[in-house]
Amino acid sequence: MADPSTYRPEPGSVPDSPGVYRFRDAHGRVIYVGKAKNLRSRLSSYFQDIANLHPRTATMVTAAAAVDWVVVNTEVDALQLEYSWIKEYDPRFNVRYRDDKSYPYLAVTLADEFPRITVMRGAKRAGVRYFGPYSHAWAIRESVDLLLRVFPVRTCSNGVFRRAGQVGRPCLLGYIGKCSAPCIGRITAEDHRLLAEDFCDFLAGHTTTYIKNLEREMKAASTELDFERAARLRDDVAALRRALEKNAVVLGDGTDADLIGFAEDPLEAAVQIFHVRGGRIRGQRGFIVEKVEDLDRASLMEQLLLQLYGEESTEGIPREVLVNELPTDDSAAAAWLSQRRGSLVSLRVPQRGDKRELLETVTRNAAQGLALHKTRRAGDLTTRSLALAEIQEALTLPDPPLRIECIDVSNLQGTSVVASLVVFEDGLPRKSDYRKFVIKGFEGQDDVRAIHEVVTRRFRRYLDDRVETGELPQSGEIGSPGTHDSDGYRPAGDPVVRRFAYPPSLLVVDGGQPQVAAAARALDELGIDDISVCGLAKRREEIWLPGLEDPVILPRSSEGLYLFQRIRDEAHRVAITHHRQRRSKAMTHSVLDDVPGVGPTRQGALRKAFPTLTKLRAAREEDIAAIPGIGPKVAAAIVAALSSDAPGPSVNVMTGEIRDDGSHQLEQVTE
């Protein structure tokens, strides 16, 4: 651990202007980002007596080795830069928001030629209109099922859409009137897009006008004695009213607002958000906040607003944001939200009326969410700290292993050898730093040799990055920068990206003494002597250290052993998944994949002309050359490849499906 006095800025060197600062560790990694109205005053508070600091703040300043800052003009600029740096560096000492689930959204893909209604989770994409989030996917499907009667927009996948167009028949929804069937040309692309836009307008809250228009059309049809059309419009109005009944009006003035409330304890906080659009609750979501930094309620709300609205589109930010605690600088936060939305956003704590009552409901939900989380994961942060402390003591490490990397090798009887490398920081997986390795050049179940190669490749890249950034002098033994292969590293000429330039505190290999010795030997060959190595053997969960004849045995109830098992199991999961993907790809290999000049397009043309390999073998060279896009030279290469291939069951030239006579499909597909 570093002494904060060793990197404390010189007196007078820190300006008293607003700005954003970042603390870095000994490897240059950003571990904390913060902002301040007065940089000099704020930074000086970190360099007081450690005994006077909050425990988490004390841990941060002793883990850091340097601090730098950037001066900005206004508090709004500071908010924006702070958010950008947090997203860029993902500092481990900043507050972390973990959504308690992946909430589904109702999405309309307006960027497509024929927009589609679907359910989406995860990161938002450009060109897609989102509504929600909803608590459950079934709630979306129920609403969509009612609305498709009035807005028959397509809901099928792209594959189903293409197949329907090829065969000239719509899917079931097209037959029962819940899809306008653009796949077979029953409606033009322009009219279908208008349907999708009407659907979006209805969900956006423009409901009363649309229902009144339908009622007006219904009365006109009845006056014209077109009772069949009038009955259909009557049923459409009833369907729309049923869809609206599923969302009760909570704010009578048609308010568009987000209501945010949270409950906290010294270690964590639970956040609940209600999304109200058109006076109706359109969605709800919750977060669990791990307070890894010392924050008061106002600072916690400020960080939440940055995380929640930093990547939202203009449509996702409402006119009002109602909170149970104003952020530290509410005027700057409101100005930043208004800048993001493009129009004025009101940020306030409601004092009376329906909005106050609804916010109290949101806050009660947050309190219940925190109680439920504590019941399910009591002492989670404490448990992880205890696990790291136990590992440090058992392996006699100088510091707790805040970053642990684990390597596992997977193969099938010595074939398709692959390896995984997973990363855990502070006892939690850091999936953005995971790596997968393909091991070539030898076959057989030689895990020792595979471990040696993976460790060598991983840490050679680490040394290369240090050379490129000037931390190490250029050395021919390390390898020239910019020659990285397919392990997830940059090619020559790309900017320096130090995503994988941070060494672990502890390297774990899946195996016993031979595997540990191989990993230690690889590090010695690279001249690395400041990384601890151990192995975890599956049979008795023994921990092996290099150079020791006897393993370290942790108690079965040890939190450190449980963390080791989680890391080892995660490495095994990633390795076996990678192995199965490569094995599956090899099993569907086509003989035409090896013919120069025959790519997916030409294989598709061949498939249409000769559906099976048997028919393709029987074809003459001139028949193959007559296929559009093939030509005599490529046809000769295809015939030569087929003549050198041993005859056998026919194989679909694109999918690799084996057929015994070109008509009967076998159940098992082999290479």
User: Which pLDDT does position 607 carry in this prediction?
Assistant: 80
Q: Give the residue-averaged pLDDT of 123-133.
A: 77
User: Which pLDDT does position 126 carry in this prediction?
Assistant: 80
The values of phi and psi at residue 304, to 5°, are: -65, -45
Question: What average pLDDT is seen over the chain?
Answer: 78
User: Which pLDDT does position 444 carry in this prediction?
Assistant: 60
Whether 473 and 491 map to the same domain: the answer is yes
Residue 507 has pLDDT above 90, yes or no: yes
Range with lowest mean pLDDT among 500-504, 526-530, 591-595? 591-595
**Is residue 459, in this structure, part of any structural domain at all?**
yes
Contact 545/552 with Cβ under 8 angstroms?
yes
Residue 237 has pLDDT above 60, yes or no: yes
Whether 534 and 393 map to the same domain: the answer is yes
Crossing angle between the packed helical segments 75-89 and 297-309, to the nearest 10 degrees:
70
Q: Give the residue-averaged pLDDT of 174-202.
A: 87
- Domain CATH code at residue 64: 3.40.1440.10
Range with lowest mean pLDDT among 124-128, 298-302, 338-342? 124-128
272 three-state secondary structure:
strand
User: Which pLDDT does position 587 carry in this prediction?
Assistant: 54
Contacts by residues 311-316 (CB-CB < 8 Å, ≥ 24 positions apart): 311/124, 312/340, 313/124, 314/340, 314/341, 314/342, 315/129, 316/130
User: Which pLDDT does position 569 carry in this prediction?
Assistant: 87
Whether 609 and 529 map to the same domain: the answer is no
Extract the tokens encoding 405.
């990397």
264-285 residue pLDDT tens:
876 678 888 888 877 777 777 7
Could you tell me the strand order of the sheet in which 320-323 lies? 96-99, 280-290, 268-277, 257-264, 320-323, 346-348
Task: State the pLDDT confidence band at 478, using cuts at 50, 70 and 90.
Answer: very low
Whether 398 and 482 map to the same domain: the answer is yes
Whether 532 and 635 map to the same domain: the answer is no
Q: Is the dihedral of CA 128, 129, 135, 137 positive or negative?
A: negative
**Is residue 113, in this structure, part of any structural domain at all?**
no
Residue 4 has pLDDT above 80, yes or no: yes
Range with lowest mean pLDDT among 101-110, 312-321, 373-382, 543-552? 373-382
Whether 508 and 541 map to the same domain: the answer is yes
Q: How do 320-323 and 257-264 pair as beta strands?
A: parallel
Q: Which residues pair with 24 in a beta bridge?
A: 30, 66
Task: State the pLDDT confidence band at 535, using cuts at 50, 70 and 90.
Answer: very high
User: 120: closest CA among 129, 102, 107?
Assistant: 107
User: Which pLDDT does position 472 carry in this prediction?
Assistant: 66
Residue 486 has pLDDT above 50, yes or no: no
**Greatest mean pLDDT range, 199-213, 366-380, 624-638:** 624-638
Residue 653 has pLDDT above 70, yes or no: no
Residue 156 has pLDDT above 60, yes or no: yes
Q: Give the residue-averaged pLDDT of 588-614.
A: 77
Q: Give the residue-averaged pLDDT of 441-470.
A: 81
70-86 residue pLDDT tens:
888 888 888 888 888 88
Q: How do 30-36 and 19-24 pair as beta strands?
A: antiparallel
Last residue of a domain, one of 71, 94, 117: 94
**Is residue 671, in this structure, part of any structural domain at all?**
no
User: Which pLDDT does position 150 carry in this prediction?
Assistant: 77
Range with lowest mean pLDDT among 123-137, 148-162, 591-605? 123-137
Whether 337 and 287 map to the same domain: the answer is yes
CA distance 202 to 669: 49
Q: CA 420, 426, 432: angle at the middle one, nearest 5?
A: 40
**Is residue 177, in this structure, part of any structural domain at all?**
no
**Is residue 464, in this structure, part of any structural domain at all?**
yes
**Is residue 540, in this structure, part of any structural domain at all?**
yes
User: Which pLDDT does position 100 carry in this prediction?
Assistant: 45
Residue 42 Cα to chain centre, angstroms: 34
- Domain CATH code at residue 350: 3.30.420.10
Q: Which helix (H) or strand (E) holds 259?
A: strand 257-264
CA distance 516 to 507: 10
Extract the tokens encoding 660.
């015994």
Q: What is the DSSP letter of 665?
A: B
Residue 490 has pLDDT above 90, yes or no: no
User: Which pLDDT does position 655 carry in this prediction?
Assistant: 39
Whether 408 and 326 map to the same domain: the answer is no
CA distance 64 to 47: 12
**Is residue 449, in this structure, part of any structural domain at all?**
yes
Contact 33/86 with Cβ under 8 angstroms?
yes
Whether 416 and 489 map to the same domain: the answer is yes
Whether 419 and 533 map to the same domain: the answer is yes
- N-terminal to C-terminal alpha carbon distance within the chain: 55
Q: Is the dihedral of CA 157, 158, 159, 162 positive or negative?
A: positive
Last residue of a domain, one of 376, 399, 431: 376
The values of phi and psi at residue 113, to 5°, are: -60, -40
Q: Which residues pair with 420 in a beta bridge?
A: 408, 436
Q: Give the residue-averaged pLDDT of 549-558.
A: 81
More confident residue, 197 or 582: 197
Extract the tokens encoding 582.
């490569």
**Is residue 205, in this structure, part of any structural domain at all?**
no
CA distance 495 to 508: 30
Whether 397 and 342 map to the same domain: the answer is no
pTM above 0.75, yes or no: no
Whether 393 and 367 map to the same domain: the answer is no
- Domain CATH code at residue 600: 1.10.150.20
Q: Give the residue-averaged pLDDT of 581-603.
A: 71
The values of phi and psi at residue 659, to 5°, are: -125, 135
261 three-state secondary structure:
strand
- Domain CATH code at residue 571: 3.30.420.340
How many domains does the chain contain in total?
4
Last residue of a domain, one of 376, 395, 412: 376
Q: Give the residue-averaged pLDDT of 385-407.
A: 89
Domain assignment of residue 318, given as a range: 257-376
User: Which pLDDT does position 523 carry in this prediction?
Assistant: 93
The values of phi and psi at residue 250, to 5°, are: -110, -25
